[in-house]
Structure 1
Amino acid sequence: MPDLPASVRVGIDIGGTGTRFAAIDEEGVVLARHTVRTPVAVDAGAATAFLADGIAVVTAGAGGQVGPATISGVGIGASGPVDADGIVRNPHTLPGFSDIALAPLVTAASGAPCVVESDAVAAAVAEATVGAGRGAADLLHVTIGTGIGVAVVRHGSPVLGADGFQPEAGHLDVPDEEPAPCYCGRTRCWEQTASRRALQRLAGVEDVGGLDRMAAAALDGVPTAQAVFDRYGQRVGLGLRTLVTVLRPTRVVIGGGGARFLDAYRDATVRTVRAVALHGLDLDLRATALDDDGGAVGAALLAAI
């Protein structure tokens, strides 16, 4: 019978499509994980119950046959904006979790202190601490999923805006042949041209499995598939080149669902960035080392900060 961990931290990554729960030990190792579709039409009570149910699943899993593990903290990373008070302000993709003081509700339900931050910050902290950004003095992390989230970690700490909000750098004006209107108000928005959903539209496929097959074809040299990923890589690069020019990060890590296809579009992205790079900027571009766990792991790590 396995030893029961003295305590675990639970991380929750609330995305527009799915919510991931993870229980980690003191070293950041994932002991249990659970993924479920994110509910949309819920009130504060139902949202809290949904989160409490997921916490119960992963704490039971972390305890193995012995019983539920003790929780020392809960961290939530949510698709932003998330304000300085930890309130999600995202009625567009997280209507059921927006404008609610989630932290005290989750604390009351779980008995553990809770913090709420943007999913972009959570994923960046995870990569900087235990993932592909480890060892870098500063890290620019770009999560490509239902939307695009961007965060910077410098010397182990996330960099926030002057008002305490996580900067919404996934919403940049980018040039493109076709308009890409976004709920943010831009007519050509980076999120709308370079999210994973945008890649699916560009590829003409319905699901991630179709993208997997097309990416494999692109890497095998099939011209039509290569053209899709070259175009997509250029779109990623159009936003990324603005960010690296302004921020000049030591390392850039791509996370989220878009990271699994990086090998197919990396060259096009690097070419697009280097076409405007200034003052000898070198682009150290890597894929996540944490796969889909990054946001939840980072949220759990934030619970200890």
Structure 2
Amino acid sequence: MFCFGVDIGGTTIKLGLFDLQGDVLDKWEIPTRKEDGGKNILPDAARAVLSKMNERSLSKEDVAGIGVGVPGPVKEDGTVETAVNLGWDFMDVQGTMQKETGLPVKVSNDANVAALGEAWVGGAKGCKDVILATLGTGVGGGLITNGKIITGAHGAGGEIGHMHLIDDFPRACNCGNYGCLEQVASATGITYLAEQALAESQEASVLRDRKVSAKAVFDAVKENDALAIEIAERFGKYLGKALAMIAAVTDPEVIVIGGGVSKAGTVLLDFVEKNFQIYAFTSCRKATFALAELGNDAGIFGAAKMALDAYASR
């Protein structure tokens, strides 16, 4: 028995063929065609799955199902109200993929799916209660409780990047609110903190001679640059405090940090975990921290696991 994991992104659709043990037997990607309101995206993904089945001589009886991760809030019935990065307004992802492939389909938000992947075979392997924070251009999140994705009534479970964290913040977030976690903990948020610190201080720093970015900040931290350390401390306070608040609700075994910013490595975890310990409820301080291990493949692994879980429950 086999299953497919599909991770739909704004640039590419990543696909994987898996066995029941979580071994990836094949993985590939196709372009995401967003023109005409993204109407080609799901048919393209379906054709890619059916083509691989034909190539591998797999019948529909050989396939447990397809899991799909989507960049937007996904309701329990597999529908999406909007996915701006794909050009979608309302889209019945589950129904459309089932019709196009004739296979069972399960759909969830891409960050939640990535969290499930990390809990299955990645940085949180073997854990049933997990928080995943993905730090990229924005801040995404995935919450796993007792091995299950928290979806929520409107598909917005795990949207941790839009927690309100700072009063009187001068800039609007992409969501329209002010003072979201994403504005100070994403790659762009860390850049903002660095630019602010450089403008407010006359302190010497290697950052003054470099293009400011999240990577530049943590590279400078590794060089023991004092101003870069101050910036990282501020970032760590914001993210550590936010994770402590989430932990008070979900009580995780492990908190996994992923996304492009996590490439800074364990030095980043040091700033976050230290502040988490300050703000967390006593029992929640037992949570451990880990870096994500699956990288860009977390989505296809988690989507496959979602399909297998749905198959097992039928």
Tell me which interval the TM-score lies in, with the shorter structure as reference length: 0.7 to 0.9
Give the structure 1 partner of residue 68 of structure 2.
76
In our comparison, the structure showing a higher alpha carbon Rg is 2
TM-score normalised to structure 1 length: 0.80
Which residue of structure 2 aligns with residue 165 of structure 1?
Answer: 155
Distance 1:149 1:51 in 2: 23
Task: Determine the structure 1 residue equivalent to 2:79.
Answer: 87
| Superposition deviation, residue 201 in structure 1 | 5.2
- CA 1:144/1:169 → structure 2, altered by over 3 Å: closer, same or farther? same
The CA deviation string for residues 236-283 of structure 1, in whole angstroms up to 9 with x for no partner, is 223212212332222111223333224232222123222222325324
Q: Does 1:12 align with 2:6?
A: yes
Residues in 2 aligned to 1:16 and 1:190: alpha-carbon distance in whole angstroms? 22
Match of 2:199 in 1: none
Aligned to 1:4: none
* Contact in 2 for aligned 1:92/1:183 (Cα 8 Å): no
Say whether residues 1:23 and 2:20 are aligned partners. Answer: no
Distance change (3 Å), C-alpha of 1:47 and 1:132? same
Is contact 2:123–2:292 with CA below 8 Å preserved after alignment? yes
* Matched position secondary structure for 1:238: helix
What's the counterpart of residue 107 of structure 1? 98
- Segments of structure 2 that go 5 or more residues without pairing to the other structure are 196-206, 208-212
Q: Distance in 2 between matches of 1:165 and 1:239?
A: 20
Is residue 248 from structure 1 mapped to residue 251 from structure 2 by the alignment?
Answer: yes
Contact 2:184 2:192 in 1 (8 A): no
Q: CA deviation at 1:129?
A: 1.9
CA apart distance, 1:287: 0.9
Q: TM-score, normalising length from structure 2?
A: 0.78
1:231 paired residue among 221, 224, 234: 234
2:306 counterpart residue number: 302
Question: Which residue of structure 1 lines up, in the alignment, with residue 203 of structure 2?
Answer: none
Cα deviation, 1:49-69, whole Å, max 9, x if unaligned, reads 332355367x37xx9xx7465
Q: What is the DSSP-based 3-state SS (H/G/I as helix, E as strand, rest coil) of the residue aligned with 2:143?
A: strand
Within the candidate set 116, 121, 129, 1:130 is matched to 121
Q: For structure 1, which runs of at least 5 residues remain unmatched after alignment?
A: 1-6
- 1:190: which partner in 2? 181
Bigger proportion of residues as helix: 2
The number of residues matched between the two structures is: 289
Q: Aligned partner of 1:303: which letter?
A: A
- Among 44, 49, 53, the alignment partner of 1:55 is 49
In the alignment, is the contact (CA less than 8 A) between 1:151 and 1:166 conserved in 2? Answer: no
